[in-house]
Amino acid sequence: MAQAQPQGAVGHLHRYADGQKHMAGIQAAAGTGGAGGRCDTCLIQQEQQALALEFGVQQDKVTGAHTYGGHGEQMAVFASQVKVDGKPLSEMGLSAERWEEIKHHTVQGGSNIIKLRGRSSFQSPAYNAVKMIEAAMGGEPFTLPAGCYVNCDKCGYKNVMMAMPTTIDKTGVHFTQPTGTEMAALNKSYEHLCKMRDEIVELGIVPPVEKWGEDNPNL
């Protein structure tokens, strides 16, 4: 008797991406990674743009603006590493109230795009998916935050797809643990992702965690 193949998105990955160590990162880049999908580069750019306008500098003078964790309202917006024209954001005199406004605008960026355009953005996810593939094929490493499979005892994050500080290159997807005062927000985002993961497992959309390795032995 032929072995039954997984259905839906999992089935496609099983048939066409079986054994690919880069699958998690590139799948997430295309916005198909569910809760850990990484189509937030445009939202990072919105954070940079808002800060650039706030301080009257060019957007490329704002560095270190990142979002980690889940996608959408549950993402953790990190500011502790942000610099404006080389100066830490913490020294720029930005009020806590104004930062909360910028952070809220960043988190709501996706829904705002849908309201304005009637659909989600696809240019930024598509562009970054291509750059990720280039990196996986031996091109310039991709170093923006990307959704990746995280199973890290040291981090305290287990069996979840989430955005982390990553480098994607020809050897695979490598992540490090974020640092900063925003870790509580990231932990909250992780808990939300775990809840979503458990719900879709219960609904039979994806296999139980202990069987994930059967679809991709690199997990």
The catalytic residue positions are: 71
Q: Tell me the C-alpha distance between 42 and 32, whole Å.
A: 16
Integer Cα distance of 39 and 35 in angstroms: 11
* Distance separating alpha carbons of residues 18 and 172, to the nearest angstrom: 15
Strand (E) or helix (H) holding 126: helix 123-136
* Measured distance between the N- and C-terminal CA atoms of the chain, rounded to whole angstroms: 28
Is 150 within 8 Å of 162 (Cβ atoms)? yes
In the numeric block, the tokens 């031996």 are attached to 138
Query: Count of CB atoms within 10 A of residue 116's CB?
Result: 9
State the CB neighbour count (10 A cutoff) for residue 88: 13
Which candidate, 48, 40, 58, 146, places its Cα nearest to that of 89? 48
Rounded to the nearest 10°, the torsion over CA 75, 78, 83, 88 is 160
